[in-house]
Amino acid sequence: MGRDNQTWVSEFILLGLSSDWDTQVSLFVLFLVMYVVTMLGNCLIVLLIRLDSRLHTPMYFFLTNLSLVDVSYATSIVPQLLAHFLAEHKAIPFRSCAAQLFFSLALGGIEFVLLAGMAYDRYVAVCDPLRYSAIMHRGQCARLAIISWASGSINSLMQTTITFQLPMCTNKFIDHISCELLAVVRLACVDTSSNEVAIMVSSILLLMTPFCLVLLSYIRIISTILKIQSREGRRKAFHTCASHLTVVALCYGMAIFTYIQPHSGPSVLQEKLISLFYAILTPMLNPMIHSLRNKEVKGAWQKLLGKFSVLTSKLAT
């Protein structure tokens, strides 16, 4: 194919979930409510951890990072999705598409590595509690967080760069809700084997490697818990890991299903639903998972609400 025919498109058209107007309006209302709940839940978690000194621990430091990632990830996709529900021309400029792919891919990678760091924190807390403070000091927590943010960002920059160097010819219709990696690669009018290899390699590095580290951590954690003699001790030890384990199952399960086999992976509809799962459902559920059964967070909420009630009473009088 000649170079002249391999032109760069100036914009892409996102086909989204449905072309029916009534369905789009219903989805707009539903996703808007979920997005607002996501923003409020995660921002309140960050605020609560910031205000309550009892929550200034490594576990809540990582939870703060996780909430910031969730808010950012949802914001990289949902506002554009909501705008397109009410728009007749569902276009996204070339550069905006590249930016969306970069941020969504980066934040997804950051979350996977961050969850591995949180698993290590739980491993030390359960398996080596006497040395927990010495091992999980502020510098170590900061290093784990920096590794998470740096690795996800670097991988995303590489993937975005090689993806948008592909000639798209005149193909500008993306059958997806956003500029998702596999959906954009499918637009190329050249062989994409090298891109698929790159996707596989990054999946191993940023998905399977952290997943294996999480798996090894929990094998050791479960082994340690089973050796605890008292039933109450086992219950408390497991309770400290239950929230993180739930989030791990949600995040890693869907990602492995989506990216580990680009050729024989999910259908286009499944890819859309998985993207919605990560962009809306997971960020909305994470604050609930980490707070509903957490006595420390509940206590912090009660303390904050108590202060608010006292302040309100003083202002009223």
Q: What single DSSP character describes residue 52?
A: -
Can you give the residue ranges of every domain in the chain? 18-91+105-144+211-308
Greater confidence (120 vs 267) lies with 120
91 strand-pairing partners: 13
* DSSP reduced 3-state for 283: helix
- Say how far residue 289 (Cα) sits from the centre of its chain: 14
Cα–Cα distance for residue pair 122/147, rounded to 1 Å: 18
2 pLDDT above the threshold of 50 = no
Cα–Cα distance for residue pair 306/292, rounded to 1 Å: 18
CB 28 within 8 A of CB 86: yes
Cα–Cα distance for residue pair 238/217, rounded to 1 Å: 13
Q: 106-115, 226-235, 238-247, 272-281: which has the highest mean pLDDT?
A: 106-115
Cα–Cα distance for residue pair 198/184, rounded to 1 Å: 14
What pLDDT is attached to residue 167?
83
Residue-wise pLDDT for 170-219, tens only, equals 678 888 999 988 888 888 888 888 888 888 888 888 888 998 999 999 99
Residue-wise pLDDT for 21-30, tens only, equals 889 999 999 9
Cα–Cα distance for residue pair 242/250, rounded to 1 Å: 13
Greater confidence (265 vs 289) lies with 289
Q: How far is CA 109 from CA 45, 94, 105, 314, in A?
A: 22, 23, 6, 47
Greater confidence (261 vs 191) lies with 191
- Say how far residue 149 (Cα) sits from the centre of its chain: 12
User: Among 8-12, 237-241, 246-250, 307-311, where is mean pLDDT lowest?
Assistant: 307-311
- Token pair, residue 279, equals 């962009």
Q: Is the dihedral of CA 105, 178, 262, 213 positive or negative?
A: positive
279 pLDDT above the threshold of 60 = yes
118 pLDDT above the threshold of 60 = yes
Average pLDDT over residues 6-20: 78
E strand spans, 51-90: none
Q: Is the dihedral of CA 110, 115, 120, 122 positive or negative?
A: positive
The kind and range of the H/E element at 130 are: none
* DSSP reduced 3-state for 293: coil
- Token pair, residue 67, equals 């909430």
287 pLDDT above the threshold of 90 = no
168 pLDDT above the threshold of 70 = yes
- Token pair, residue 90, equals 């569902």
Q: How far is CA 294 from CA 42, 113, 297, 299, in A?
A: 15, 23, 5, 9
Round the average pLDDT of the chain to a whole number and report it.
85
Average pLDDT over residues 110-114: 94
Average pLDDT over residues 45-63: 89
Q: Are strands 173-174 and 11-14 parallel, antiparallel or unpaired?
A: parallel
What pLDDT is attached to residue 83?
92
169 pLDDT above the threshold of 50 = yes
How would you write 103-124 as a 3-class SS string? HHHHHHHHHHHHHHHHHHHHHH
Q: Which of 18, 12, 3, 10 is nearest to 184 (CA)?
A: 12
What is the pTM (predicted TM-score) of this model?
0.86
CATH T-level topology, domain 18-91+105-144+211-308 = Rhopdopsin 7-helix transmembrane proteins (1.20.1070)
Render 172-231 in DSSP notation, one character per residue.
-EE-SSS--HHHHHTT-SS--HHHHHHHHHHHIIIIIHHHHHHHHHHHHHHHHHHH--SH
